[in-house]
Amino acid sequence: MKKQNIGILGMGIVATGFCQTYFLNQGEIDKKMGTTFEFKKVLVKNKDKKRISELPQSIYVDDFDQFDLKELDIVVELMGGVSPACEYIKKALEAGCHVVTANKELMAKKGKELIQIAHKNNVLLRYEASVGGGIPLIGTINDSLTSNKIVKLMGILNGTTNYILTKMTKEKIEFDAALKRAQTLGFAESNPTADVDGFDAAYKLAILSKDAFGVIPDPEEISKQGIRNISIEDIEYGLELGYKIKLLAIGERSNAHVELSVQPTFIPIDHPIASVNNEYNALYIEGNSVGEIMLYGKGAGAMPTGSAVLSDVVDIVVKKSDYIGSCMAQNIVVKNIGFSAYYVRMEVLDLPGVLGQIAVAFGDYGISLDSVVQRARGGQFAPLVFITHDVERMKLNDALRTIASKEYVNEIQSIIKVVK
Ligand code: HSE
């Protein structure tokens, strides 16, 4: 039986997890595939560095020209970044190799083009590990839920921010201290922008949108807000009102459009996704036939992510067929209306009638209020917290502009989406 010739681009944490998972379970995997892997080439920066003991040092190369695509069946791209990974993947697909990648930024930004190249060359491109690490999200949507129209996704897709928000909520430490803790533990990068400002979650949502809704958005089309401005004060008001805060990536489909956003969101404390803590990830999916399901697990780390990469490779060997899930939905555009309930915290002069006048101002814009909290602080100013009923974000912004211009309003301090 012909062996499957594998080439790996990069040998960092995930590639190491990929190889270790294979050698750990090789007997069973080979039996499932009816064949075995031959690791032919590994492209790295330093070919002399000692790495995985099962792989001979001679297969490491430091020049892509020595990464002989003609001898490979499957290329596993685990180097990260858009360039040169994108060029290498294109060359591999054009040379007739199947490709497996864990590269979320690349798939979000160039996925459409790469999928077309794969189709044109009659090969497969798989990317399970690019979203949710070890949690089988892409395969579930494409294989197991292909009978459904997916109407809603709500995901905790970034472990770093989930860890930070969990610490802020449980230990009442502010964002900066929680971020430092995440950096010390190695969850957060020294430059945490991609995680805390929502880019990482937006890339992952862009990828899921293709599979769940048949829409491949430009990541720029995703409305995005990070967690830097979340305060303990907001978290405590949320808890008092029955909500926990999570950085949620939300995709919602109506007949004509899909709405895609990443933002800190208040979610009812008894919602299953509110119980996903620390660095764990989860995706809550609503299908029009299956109803609601939730997938939960480790969104990062060598072995979980390596396990997802390896499953893609095995799937290619065993099935050699493309996903059909996303074919159900087409001609749908991305449109962000932000129709939702919102939490608004403001600081106002503590004078008689102020609360009433603000409620009237919301009413003038047709915005109905669900709850109000006012806690006296004993000074000149008092905090006021409102939760609205569903309203379009633009209309809320108009109302808040008017409210902010009133002489009795010192500052609008927070606006946070609420899922009820
Ligand atoms: N930086 C990501 C996170 C892990 O914090 O979840 C890799 O996607």
DSSP symbols for 257-302: EEEEEEEEEEEETTSGGGG--TTEEEEEEEETTTEEEEEEEESSSH
Q: 300 in ligand 1 pocket by Cβ < 6 Å? A: yes
Same domain for 168 and 193, yes or no, is yes
Q: Which of 286, 312, 335 is the last residue of a domain?
A: 335
Same domain for 157 and 288, yes or no, is yes
* pLDDT for residue 410 is more than 70: yes
Segment 206-233 shows an average pLDDT of 95
Same domain for 329 and 180, yes or no, is yes
In a domain, 155, yes or no: yes
Same domain for 59 and 155, yes or no, is no
Same domain for 125 and 148, yes or no, is no
Same domain for 369 and 274, yes or no, is no
- Rg of the chain in Å (alpha carbons): 24
CA distance 40 to 8: 8
Q: Tell me if 9 sits within 8 A of 85, measured CB to CB.
A: yes
Quick one: which of 326, 281, 322, 272 has its CA closest to 304? 281
CATH number at residue 379: 3.30.70.260
State the Cα angle at 165 between 164 and 167, rounded to 5°.
Answer: 65
How much distance in Å is there from the Cα of 245 to the middle of ligand 1?
Answer: 18
Same domain for 277 and 387, yes or no, is no
Structure tokens at 98: 């199947």
In a domain, 308, yes or no: no
Tokens 């294979």 correspond to 22
In a domain, 304, yes or no: no
Q: 304 in ligand 1 pocket by Cβ < 6 Å? A: no
Q: Which of 76, 102, 130 is the last residue of a domain?
A: 130
In a domain, 317, yes or no: no
Q: Tell me if 281 sits within 8 A of 157, measured CB to CB.
A: yes
In a domain, 184, yes or no: yes
In a domain, 319, yes or no: no
Give the residue, out of 195, 199, 262, with the most ligand 1 atoms within 8 A of its beta carbon, to mutate for a pocket test: 195
Segment 305-333 shows an average pLDDT of 82
Same domain for 92 and 157, yes or no, is no
- Protein residue with least CA distance to atom 4, ligand 1: 300
CATH number at residue 103: 3.40.50.720
How many distinct structural domains can be found in the chain?
A: 3
Tokens 């502009």 correspond to 401
Domain with 381, as residue range(s), is 341-418
Verify whether residue 204 is a known catalytic residue.
yes
What integer pLDDT is reported at residue 330 of this predicted model?
61
pLDDT tens figures, 147-165: 999 999 999 999 999 999 9
* pLDDT for residue 388 is more than 80: yes
In a domain, 293, yes or no: yes
* pLDDT for residue 303 is more than 60: yes
Segment 343-356 shows an average pLDDT of 95
Segment 70-95 shows an average pLDDT of 97
Provide CB contacts within 8 A for 342, sequence distance 6+. 387, 388, 391, 393, 396, 415, 416, 417, 418
Looking at every residue in the chain, the average pLDDT score rounds to 95
Same domain for 114 and 30, yes or no, is yes
Q: Which of 91, 113, 130 is the last residue of a domain?
A: 130
Same domain for 201 and 285, yes or no, is yes
Q: Which of 114-118, 214-218, 339-343 has the lowest mean pLDDT?
A: 214-218
Q: Please state, for a pLDDT cut of 90, what percent of the chain lies above it.
A: 90
Same domain for 109 and 211, yes or no, is no
CA distance 136 to 200: 18
Phi first, then psi: what are they for 133, rounded to 5°? 50, -110
Same domain for 240 and 94, yes or no, is no
In a domain, 29, yes or no: yes
Determine the number of helices (DSSP H) and then strands (DSSP E) in the chain: 12, 17
Per the residue annotation, which of 41, 204, 224, 417 is the catalytic one?
Answer: 204
